[in-house]
Amino acid sequence: MTEPTVRILFVCMGNICRSPAAEAVFIQRLEDAGIAERFQIDSAGTGGWHAGDEADPRSRAEGDRRGYRLDTPARQIEAADFDRFDLLICMDVENAAVLIDRGAPDDKVRLLLEWHPEEHLQEVPDPYYGGEDGFSHMYDLIEAGCDGLLAALESKR
């Protein structure tokens, strides 16, 4: 097996809604393109209170509807991740700031929606305290961001 050339960690607060969805979407995009072996993809949260838990049932349900597998247990980001991954892609500004405060290199910390076609968008809103429609909107944003990210990475090859 070849060593992955790009290592990406998707990050949100608790690692049960947004970042596991982004992980699942991006993995599916890579598999569909036949290039998954060139990547290592994972997700983590800045907080550890959900460590070991499954993704939020609402996120899993919307993921299932769209054909994604959210099967990675939640985990908290650790300092070793700052070296282990090439990109630390956050769902929002607050979690990006937390990573930088904890010592993550500025040049590795990015926001997923930097790759969204609508340039005015910056953050994937946390749907945890809202209704089902928040999860649908979350996936719409994540899918578009992941598509743009993949296109950007492939254009550099």
Domains of the chain, CATH where assigned: 12-155 (3.40.50.2300)
Q: Tokens 């609402």 label which residue?
A: 58
Residues labelled catalytic: 12, 18, 126
Rounded to two decimals, what is the model's pTM? Answer: 0.96
Dihedral class, residue 34 (left if φ above 0, else alpha if ψ from -120 to 50, else beta)? left
130 falls in which pLDDT band (50, 70, 90)? Answer: confident
Q: Write the pLDDT tens digit of every residue in 21-41.
A: 999 999 999 999 999 999 999
Does residue 132 surpass a pLDDT of 80?
A: no
Separation of alpha carbons 111 and 114, rounded Å: 6
